[in-house]
Amino acid sequence: MNQVRCRAVDGTVHTLTLHPLADAVTGPLRSRLVAVNGITLLHKQVPRDPAGAPGPLEALDREIRATHRFAQLFQEEEYPPELPRLRYYDVDSEDPFLLLDPARGVPAAEALPRLSAQERHRFQAGLLRALHLAEVAGLTHGGVDLDVLRWDPTTRSVQLLDFHRATPGDIRTDIWDAGLVIWRAAYPGHLGRSAPDLHANGGALRVLLDGVFTDPPTARPGPAELLSRLREPVHPKVIDLGARLAPGQHAFDLALRRKRDRAAAEQDQDGQIWPRLREMWRRMRPAEDELPPLVRCPVCLDRYPPPENGLWRRDPDGTHHELKVNGRDPVKGGLNLVNTYRRCPNPSGDTDEHYLPATYFAHEPPFVVAMIGRPTAGKTHLLAALVRELVERDGLAPYGLTVVPLDLHRHDEYRTAVLEPAGRGARLPRTPKQVTGPAEILLIRGPHLTRPLVLFDVAGEDLEAVGDNESARFLIGTDAVLFVHGLDPAPERGGNQALEMSLARFQAVPELERLPAAIVATKADRLRYQPPVSHWLREGNQRLTTVDPELIWRESRDVYAFLHQRQEFGALAPFGVFDRCTLHFVSATGTEAAPGEPVFPRGFAPSRVLQPLVSILAMAGVLGGERGAVGG
C-alpha cells in the first residue's frame, strides 16, 4: 500500500492510496493491478534503471499523451471499448505512472483459436475500428501485434492496448502490421513481417487486404476504407475540441482589429499635431551642442547627464570605495571599467545610495524589462530559467546576438543564490519584499549594437501594494513588460491586484500603449496534455533562427482563446492596453514539486522560456527587421 499524488484527466490534483492486487509485469512500463477506493485499475510505471535512478519518461509520456487525447475526444458515457481509458497520471515524481481502466477480456492470441467465423469478423472490425479511432485522434500506435490486443467474449469486441510508442502521424504506417494480425488470425502459420500471398487459401482475405502490403504507407488504404469493405460504420462520435476555443479566437480577432484601428487613428492624429509641436520645441530649445544628453537610472528613475564622478570598486561585504586611477594607459583604463561602478547622483535625493556598472551608459540605451505577476505566478523561476538560457546556453545566438553579464558582482550573486540551486533542481524561495534594484544587468551584443538588458523581479506583494511603493517604482522607467500568469487546473477568475496596481502605475508612462508587452502563461506543465497547451509545449525548446511573426500570432491566438475559454479575463487585460502584445505558453521548471518538497524530483527542465523575450526584443527592434511585424 502506498500513497501517491497525481492528476485526473482535467489536471486537478488528487492524493490516492494504491493497494497492489497482483505482481508487476515488466516491460517498457511496469504494470500491475491495484485497488483505488475499491475500484480496480491498471497501474503502469516507469521502471528505475539498474542503479536505482529514475527511468526515462518518454514511453510513459507517449502513453499518457495518447490516452489523454482519447479521453478528451470521446464522451465519457459513449467511450469506445476498443481503446484504453485514462483515469489518473503523474509525471512529476521520481516514479511517474498512469492509472487506466483494466484491460478487458483475454489476450487475443489465447482467444483466436476458439473464435467462430462471425466472431472473427468482429475481431477484424474491432482492430480496424481501434486504428480508425487513433486516426481520428491524429495518432499512430507504432506496435500493432497480437500481443497488444484483447478479445472480450462478453461484448464480442477488441481492445487495442499499450500506446507507449504512439506518436502523431499517418495511421497508415500501422496498416501493414494490422494486416498481418488479420492474416495470422486466420492462418497462424505465417511468420515474420513479409507480405503474405493474398491468393493463398482460396483468396478469402484478398478483397479485405488488397493494397495493405504496399509501400510507401501513403499508398495503403486507411482503416476507414477497410471498415467500409467489411460494411462496418466509420463515423465515431467525437467531441469538437476546436469549438471550445472558437469564441476566444473570435474575441482575439476582434480585440486585435480594435487595437489596429486605434493605432491607425492615433497615427493620423500624430501626423497633424506632432509636426507643429516639434517646430515649437526646435525654436524654444538651445542648440544641440548646448544640450547634455540625459540618461535615466533604473533604480531611482532620475534623469541626468552621464555621471563622470569617478570609479568605485565593490568590496566583498557589499560596500563601495572610490578607485584611485593613475596614468592614462588605455588598456588598464578599459580593464578598470569592466568591474567597477559609478555612483548614481540621484538628484532628487529620494533613494538610498546606489551604483551602476561603469559602462552602463556607454552603450546604446538600456532595455529595461519588467516582470509583473501575483506572488504565486512563478516569476522567480521564470527569470532564473530565462537568465540561464541567455547567459549559460547562448539562447540568442541563432539571432546573431550574444548575452554576457554587465554587472559582474550582481551576476555572481545571482548565480550563487539562484542559478546554481535551480540547476540542482531546488525549489527557489519567493522574491524578498522591498527589493528596489534589478535582479540582473546583462549586455546584449550583436553586429550592429551593444545594449544593456535590465531584468526586474519584484515581489508580487510589493506589486499588489496600494499607494507609493518604492519597489514598484521601477515600472515607470520600463521599456517592455512581461505579464506573468500562473496556470492552474482550477481557473483563476478573481481579480489580479498585482496586475491592476501595475497598470494603474503605468498611467504615468507617456505613450504607455506603445511599449512592447507579452502575456506569459507559466506553469503550463500542469496542463501539458490539454489542447492547445499540449501542441505548444510539444514544440519544446526548438531553436528558431529567425523571428516568425505568423508562428507568434498563432500561439498568441491560441493562448488568448484558451484563457478566454477558462474565463481568466483578468490575465487578458494587458492585451487591450498595449498596441503590440504577444501571448505564450511557458513552463519555467518543466515539472512540479509536491507542496513542501524542497526540490523538483525530476530536475529543472524549463520549456519555451525564451519565446516571450524574443517577441518583445523583436517588437523593440533589437533583433532587427520590421518592428511592427510582431504583436500588432
Q: What is the pLDDT of residue 291?
A: 55
Q: Which of 21-25, 29-33, 281-285, 589-593 has the lowest mean pLDDT?
A: 281-285
Q: What is the pLDDT of residue 329?
A: 63
Query: Is the full-model pTM beyond 0.75?
Result: yes
DSSP secondary-structure letter at 392? I
Percent of the chain with pLDDT over 70: 88
Q: What is the pLDDT averaged over residues 146-153?
A: 95
Q: Three-class SS of residue 96?
A: coil
CB 561 within 8 A of CB 498: no
Q: What is the pLDDT of residue 509?
A: 73
- 498/148: higher pLDDT: 148
Domain 106-230 CATH class label: mainly alpha
Sign of CA dihedral 173, 177, 182, 183: positive
- State yes or no: pLDDT of 79 exceeds 50: yes
Q: What is the pLDDT averaged over residues 116-133?
A: 96
Q: What is the CA angle 10-43-39, rounded to 5?
A: 75
Q: What is the pLDDT of residue 473?
A: 66
Distance (Å, rounded) from C-alpha 64 to C-alpha 70?
A: 10
> What confidence category does residue 22 fall into, taking pLDDT thresholds of 50, 70 and 90?
confident
- 464/567: higher pLDDT: 567
Third-level CATH fold of 245-282+363-620: Rossmann fold (3.40.50)
Task: Please state, in angstroms and as integers, the Cα–Cα distance from residue 603 to each residue in 91, 590, 599, following that order.
Answer: 12, 8, 8
Distance (Å, rounded) from C-alpha 47 to C-alpha 31?
A: 10
- Identify whether 216 is preceded by a cis peptide bond (ω within 30 of 0): yes
Q: What is the pLDDT of residue 332?
A: 60
Query: Which tens digits make up the pLDDT trace of 39-55?
Result: 999 999 988 888 877 78
580 contact partners, CB below 8 Å, separation of at least 6: 514, 516, 517, 619, 628, 630, 631, 632
- State yes or no: pLDDT of 23 exceeds 90: no
Query: Which tens digits make up the pLDDT trace of 251-305?
Result: 999 999 998 888 787 766 655 544 554 454 455 455 545 556 788 898 888 889 8
Distance (Å, rounded) from C-alpha 154 to C-alpha 159?
A: 13
> What confidence category does residue 422 fall into, taking pLDDT thresholds of 50, 70 and 90?
very high
> What confidence category does residue 461 fall into, taking pLDDT thresholds of 50, 70 and 90?
low
Q: Which three cell numbers stand for residue 36?
A: 483505488
Quick count: other Cβ atoms within 10 Å of Cβ 288? 6
Q: What is the pLDDT of residue 54?
A: 79
Query: Which tens digits make up the pLDDT trace of 357-366?
Result: 999 988 999 9
Chain mean pLDDT for the chain: 87
Q: What is the pLDDT of residue 318?
A: 84
Q: What is the pLDDT averaged over residues 164-181?
A: 97
> What confidence category does residue 223 fall into, taking pLDDT thresholds of 50, 70 and 90?
very high
Query: Which tens digits make up the pLDDT trace of 353-397?
Result: 999 999 998 899 999 998 888 888 889 999 999 999 999 999 999
Q: What is the pLDDT of residue 273?
A: 47
> What confidence category does residue 495 fall into, taking pLDDT thresholds of 50, 70 and 90?
low
Percent of the chain with pLDDT over 90: 59
Task: Please state, in angstroms and as integers, the Cα–Cα distance from residue 439 to each residue in 197, 357, 369, 384, 609, following that order.
Answer: 71, 14, 11, 10, 17
Query: Which tens digits make up the pLDDT trace of 536-576?
Result: 998 765 667 788 999 999 999 999 999 999 999 989 989 99
Q: What is the pLDDT of residue 570?
A: 87
Query: Which tens digits make up the pLDDT trace of 566-580?
Result: 999 989 989 998 999
Looking up cell 509501400 gives 215
Domain ranges of the chain: 2-100, 106-230, 245-282+363-620, 297-356
CB 584 within 8 A of CB 518: yes
Q: What is the pLDDT of residue 281?
A: 43
Architecture of domain 2-100: 2-Layer Sandwich (3.30)
Q: What is the pLDDT of residue 26?
A: 66
